[in-house]
Structure 1
Amino acid sequence: MKVKRLTKEQGKRFDICRFPNFHKTGSVKCMKSLYYGKDALLVRCGDYIYNVTSEPNIYEQAK
């Protein structure tokens, strides 16, 4: 499962906290299959993984 990363500074700039999220210890595979869909775009910022599918430009700018 591909999860890209953002720095905390980038996360603040994108106001990443407004997106659905789960803790980094959670299962990416499970969250995609149960809640977000297999094509969800996930980005890790700090201790949380965010679903940024509604704004794919954030995913594209992440590393």
Structure 2
Amino acid sequence: MPKPPRVRKLTREEGERVDIHRFPNFSVTGSITGMRNKYYGHEALLVRCGSYIYNVSSEPEIYHSAI
């Protein structure tokens, strides 16, 4: 199985600019692997911003512009 995409990071300012809070999210204390397996799928594009990890698969340009 191919390796899933990495989790990228956004600053809080970048997150506010793209209105990151409208995407599904979970706490950084949660399991990334578990969320991919159970809910999002292995190819989900995940971005960490502040204390949450967001699934931005519906707008991949956010993931690709992140650090």
- The percentage of counterpart residues that share the same residue type is 60
TM-score, normalized by length of structure 1? Answer: 0.98
How many residue pairs match? The answer is 63
SS of match in other structure, 2:29: coil
Separation (CA, whole Å) in 2 of partners of 1:3 and 1:28: 9
- Aligned match of 2:7: 3
Gaps of 5+ in 1: none
TM-score, normalized by length of structure 2? Answer: 0.92
- Structure 1 moving runs of 4+ over 2 Å: none
**1:30 CA displacement:** 0.3
C-alpha RMSD over aligned residues: 0.8
State how 1:11-22 maps to structure 2 within 5 Å. Answer: 11-22=15-26
Separation (CA, whole Å) in 2 of partners of 1:3 and 1:26: 13
Gaps of 5+ in 2: none
The structure having more radius of gyration, on CA atoms, is 2
